[in-house]
Amino acid sequence: MSRSEVNKPNSNPLISVIVSAYNVERYIEACLDSLLAQTFQDFEIVVIDDGSTDQTAKILDQYQTNSRIIIHRQSNAGLSAARNQGLKLSRGKFVCFVDSDDYVAKNYLEKLVAPLLQNPTIDITVCGYQEIYQDHQTNYPLKPQLLTGYQATKNLLLNQRDFDVLAWNKLYKKSLFTEHDILYPVGQIHEDNLTTYKLYSVAKNVQYLKDQLYFYQRKNSSITKDFSSTEKTLKRLQVKEQMAIEAQKYFKTPDLKYAAEIALLLSYFAFIDNSITHHIDGKYFNIYRQKVRDLLDGKSENAFLTPKLRFYISLLISPLGFLYQIFRKITLKKL
């Protein structure tokens, strides 16, 4: 049964931060404390306790009296359902998502909201981030730039970079979700792959910030189920393929349909490469080699087909794909 515990301030906040929480007793305090320490003050935190069975609910009870925080408890329904519920309860003009086992810089909201307030044609801001491991961290600063939503969508499809796909390093105008009926697909792993391209495509402009403001704790696995390494890889690849197939159907303009076709081709090559490196079963090499051949057979020329991809395709269609296997066994070792 679902219930909300709300102690709302009188005026509507400018930003709603949506935090999905499931069995994060070790991390939820650090996450919420990093949000409460923000330099930008006009915000609320909507916490969705997605049926936690550990001490998460008890820890959240300590935050009930904070006027910034809305706590909603529901039976476990998964990350997408929790985010969608957070969107439904949110009152801000802008929304962002923070995973409950991560944390953010104290100027996370201040930096992300500034371009949106200065330029009403900007609908999404994107920041850099750090991946935090047990013994090191990896930095992902971004190139500061302003792109149209169309350009950003095309880049997402053609370049397949994580910072574009991720849900949590962005601040969005809430109207992108509500006016275009965009929600996260319930029950889906890697749900942002199936959602962010839609948000980009309906945005007027997307602003990228250099600042690394989000701290993604790779050592944690509390949000998603604990699959084996092989199973995780396979699910990630399957979602990349699913995204490209759905995007081809979603877009109306020929350019974006062609870009989605390249995204599908790239997903096939991802299956092939992971089979060569034994991250997934070797059977996928021939399955997806044939899919590449079928995709290209009888198709009109795709302007986004790069010389590099053409070279890979020429090696792949050699007898049994032998030349591609040799080439990638050498090059993938260097990565």
Q: Report pLDDT digits (tens) over 229-271.
A: 888 899 999 999 999 999 999 999 999 999 999 999 999 999 9
* Whole-angstrom distance, CA of residue 132 vs CA of residue 130: 6
Question: So what's the pLDDT on residue 7?
Answer: 43
> CA-CA-CA-CA torsion for 201, 205, 209, 213, nearest 10 degrees?
-60
Please count the CA atoms within 13 angstroms of the CA of 56 that sit on its side-chain side: 26
Q: Are 152 and 203 in contact (CB under 8 A)?
A: yes
Give the containing element (helix H, strand E) for 130. strand 122-132
Please tell me the predicted confidence (pLDDT) of residue 175.
98
* Predicted local distance difference test score (pLDDT) of residue 222: 45
pLDDT of residue 221: 47
pLDDT grade for 297, boundaries at 50, 70 and 90: confident
| Sequence-distant (≥ 6) Cβ neighbours of residue 289 within 8 angstroms | 272, 316, 321
Average pLDDT over residues 92-104: 97
Model confidence at 81: pLDDT above 50: yes
Kindly report the number of other CB atoms within 10 A of residue 209's CB atom: 21
Query: Treating both helix axes as pointing N-terminal to C-terminal, what angle do 254-276 and 229-250 enclose, rounded to 10 degrees?
Result: 160
Give pLDDT, residue 11: 67
- pLDDT tops 70 at residue 10: no
Residue 5 pLDDT exceeds 50 = no
What per-residue confidence (pLDDT) applies to 332?
82
Over residues 212-226, the mean pLDDT reads 69
Model's pTM, two decimal places?
A: 0.91
Catalogue the active-site residues: 192
Q: What are phi and psi of 124, to 5 degrees?
A: -140, 135
Check residue 191 and report its DSSP letter. G
pLDDT at position 230 = 87
Question: pLDDT class for 284, splitting at 50, 70, 90?
Answer: very high
Query: Using an 8 Å Cβ cutoff, are 263 and 243 in contact?
Result: yes
Report d(CA 152, CA 197) in Å as an integer.
9
Q: CA dist 316 to 68, 128, 263, 282, 304, Å?
A: 56, 35, 17, 15, 19
At 301, the pLDDT band (50, 70, 90 cuts) reads: confident
Whether 1 shows a pLDDT value over 50: the answer reads no
Q: Which of 67-81, 95-109, 144-158, 285-299 has the lowest mean pLDDT?
A: 285-299
Average per-residue pLDDT for the chain: 92
Q: How would residue 298 be classed by pLDDT, with cut points 50, 70 and 90? A: low
pLDDT band at 135 (very low <50, low <70, confident <90, very high): confident
pLDDT at 3: 40
In the predicted model, is pLDDT for residue 134 greater than 80? yes
The pLDDT of residue 61 is 95
Q: What is the pLDDT of residues 14-45, one digit of tens each?
A: 999 999 999 999 999 999 999 999 999 999 99
Task: Please state, for a pLDDT cut of 90, what percent of the chain lies above it.
Answer: 83
Q: Report the distance separating Cα 264 and Cα 245, nearest Å.
A: 7
Query: What is the DSSP track for 64-124?
Result: TT-TTEEEEEE----HHHHHHHHHHH---SEEEEEETT-EE-TTHHHHHHHHHHH-TTEEE
For 193-222, what is the mean pLDDT? 90
Between the two ends of the chain, the Cα-to-Cα distance in Å is 49
